[in-house]
A = this chain, B = another copy of it.
């Protein structure tokens, strides 16, 4: 049983006093206090159940007993570090290697996606001896100093764009410069990266890496057009750089058909570095960088130790292994294909009914539904999206928005999300859109 120590008001008051206010709460006007969770369900201090559509970290479902058991068993044996030999780290690296193309065969374990992306930067720079980075517009790669610098989503609000960071257009065929009516948007967007490299070279800059989420999340749940990644990789390699696939939100089977989202781009594309994190430990702080022997060797060759105090410890690896086991045993990739496919169909039906729904896109259990003021201008319906999120909360469905204008309703639920859950959320959205938001659109346009 989960017992409340403080009344909700008191918790909130203490939190406002004791925790830095840059750490924000969901539904900040009336936050929820969650006491326990199971599968795709959250329970508040009154035992009220919420359907969770966004906790992608709790990948195999909140508080899965197999994960708790694996963690407790290993915690009772050994919670040390990688300076001692241990089987778990090699077992785990071996299992991860089996999910990746052969050339991605060397692993570094760390504690968070941010740590993974920072290490990827260090690896890329050490290997290429170049400094500059190309990133996609609106990208977010983590909260560390080095990553704010390569995250347009953050640096635009802070100290601005640094020399050595080059921002390529987001290959968004709904809002971007090339749209769904373009004959080959993959080529067209890849050419923008090529041009960016040429411009950088004219200024005497040298490209270390192209950094991108395999499906840009904060950018608005974007699906890359066919052929994009392969062609970008060709240009980046030609410039002496490496391709870093940020799979922190998208890996571990979320897309269903493949284990990694970059694999959606076909077998003739392979990144040089893959970073992983969020779903890896089902809530536990673990993350990883996978790379090639050549890149790892260049990093070793500098003669400097890389020691990450907690990274790759026996407990984190035991948890990581247990997560992989559950994904397989419970066929969660199959579930992502089935339930994600069904949910997308239901949302596409809503699109035929409600003019507010401008676009529905996604793969597996990574889906975005974009709200627009009208379908011609595609002007983002930011307030309507916020309203929908608030209304869904009243229906006890936890969901949120993403995208440059917070107009994309994002679905990244635990992978055990069911057909019934999909129907419940789509029915609720249908009712809310039917009842109220149409009005707010017509008032606003």
Contact = CB atoms under 8 A, between A and B. Distances in A.
A48 interface: no
Contacts of A78: 2, 34-37, 62-63
A76 B282 CA distance: 12
A313 interface: yes
B23 A284 contact: no
Interface string A54-77: 010110001101011001100111
Contacts of A36: 77-78
A285 B310 contact: yes
A121 B159 CA distance: 14
A352 interface: no
In the A-B complex, the 7 residue pairs with the smallest Cβ-Cβ separation, listed nearest first, are A79-B283, A22-B306, A285-B310, A145-B146, A18-B93, A14-B90, A72-B72
Nearest to A7: B87
Contacts of A79: 37, 58, 62-63, 282-284
A145 B122 contact: yes
A80 B55 contact: yes
A31 to B, nearest CB: 5
Interface string A92-120: 01100100000001111101111100110
Contacts of A15: 85, 89-90
A4 B87 contact: yes
A148 B94 CA distance: 30
A20 B21 CA distance: 38
B106 A18 contact: yes
Contacts of A6: 87, 90
Given A19-B312, A63-B75, A299-B20, A84 B143 contact: no
A308 interface: yes
Given A283-B80, A310-B285, A21 B296 contact: yes
Nearest to A297: B21
A112 B282 contact: no
A432 interface: no
Contact of A23 (B34, B71, B87, B108): B108
A109 to B, nearest CB: 8
A25 B305 CA distance: 10
Contacts of A300: 20-22
Given A8-B85, A80-B62, A307 B24 contact: yes
Contacts of A94: 14, 18
Contact of A72 (B71, B154, B285, B304): B71
Contact of A19 (B31, B72, B82): B82
A77 B35 contact: yes
Given A15-B85, A277-B309, 6 more contacts: A22-B296, A25-B82, A37-B78, A42-B80, A118-B145, A122-B148
A145 to B, nearest CB: 4
A128 interface: no
Interface in A17-56: 17-26, 31-37, 42, 55
Contacts of A286: 285
Contacts of A313: 283
Contacts of A106: 18-20
Nearest to A56: B309
A177 to B, nearest CB: 27
Contacts of A93: 14, 18-19
A259 to B, nearest CB: 18
Contacts of A107: 18-20
B63 A68 contact: no
A76 B23 CA distance: 25
The listed residue with most B CB atoms (<10 A of its CB), out of A22, A62, A119, A146, is A22
A407 interface: no
Given A6-B90, A78-B62, A108-B19, A34 B284 contact: no
Interface in A281-298: 282-286, 291, 296-297
B75 A22 contact: no
A144 interface: yes
20 contacts: A4-B87, A5-B91, A6-B90, A12-B85, A18-B93, A19-B93, A25-B85, A58-B80, A63-B76, A71-B72, A75-B283, A111-B310, A112-B112, A112-B309, A112-B310, A118-B144, A121-B145, A143-B308, A144-B146, A157-B303
